[in-house]
Each structure stands twice: as structure tokens, then as C-alpha cells.
Amino acid sequence: VGVYLRHDYKHVTMDTIADQKMPEWCKRNRVTLIQLGLQLYKRASEDSRIQVSGSIDDWIYLVSDPHRIARRCHAGNFLFFNTEGRLRSCMFGTEYADIKQTPLDGIVALDGFAEARKLHASCSICVLACN
């Protein structure tokens, strides 16, 4: 079992990282989410069937102040594309190509791919940086 918290950021780019906000629901339920994180990490330490990564500190930042997450984003390990085949910089990022019209080995040569790599190196506000 893998457990992940997810915000619903929109159009994350180098220019909008600082403007991304947590959902109001998350703010209202911060204490509960922190308590659940503490329970989850404790259970995971006792039961190898439960998979968590990162630290409880970053879980707490994710539900209270995501801009303080210390770990690096690992979105660079993946290619993200939607059901129409549009490549995106990450699941919250912007589109930069159509996978149906771009050969796989051509993707890495795209300016959009290089921009996505810069974004991954600069942004650490979501679960891909902390869990």
C-alpha cells in the first residue's frame, strides 16, 4: 500500500511556483492531517506492507507550508502526459508537446523538456518532493 497526499495546483511554472496555494480544505483540516501523518509513519515503521518515503517533517510541511519542503522534486524520473497524449512538465505543470507527433527520442531535445527539467530543479511544493 502506498499512501500519498495530493494538492491540486494549477499551471505550475517557474513563474508561478511562489503563487501556488494549498486548498482551503487542507488548511481547515491541518491538525487532522498532521495527526494522520504521524499515525501513518508510525504504522509504516512497524509494518513493511505500508510504503512511505521522505520524512514526517516534509509531510507536515506539505499540509502546512509546502514551500518549506526540503527534498528535491523527482518528477524528472517520469514523463507526464494526459489522455490526449499532451506532454506536461509535471502533473500540475503546463503542456509542451504532443506525444503522438514527437518520437520518444526527440522529446529530450525539445525546449519544453529542458524547461521542465529546470522546473523540477527549482520546485518542491508537492508530493513528488516529499513522499
Alpha helices by DSSP H, listed for 1-131, are 24-28, 30-46, 56-64, 104-107, 111-122, 127-130
Minimum distance, C-beta of residue 49 to ligand SF4, in the bound complex (Å): 26
Site string (77-116) toward ligand SF4, x via CB under 6 A: -------------x-xx-----------------------
Nearest residue (CB) to ligand SF4, 33 versus 120? 120
Place of cell 530543479: 121
Asked if 59 touches ligand SF4 (CB under 6 A), the answer is: no
Asked if 62 touches ligand SF4 (CB under 6 A), the answer is: no
Q: Three cell numbers at 118?
A: 529546470
**What is the number of alpha carbons within 13 Å of residue 131 lying toward its C-beta?**
25
Residues in the chain: 131
Q: Which of 22, 52, 60, 125 binds ligand SF4 (CB under 6 A)?
A: 125
100 class by beta-carbon count within 10 Å (0-12 exposed, 13-18 middle, 19+ buried)? exposed
Asked if 123 touches ligand SF4 (CB under 6 A), the answer is: yes
Nearest residue (CB) to ligand SF4, 8 versus 31? 8
Residues that bind ligand SF4 (CB under 6 A): 9, 12, 73, 75, 90, 92-93, 119-120, 123-126, 128-129
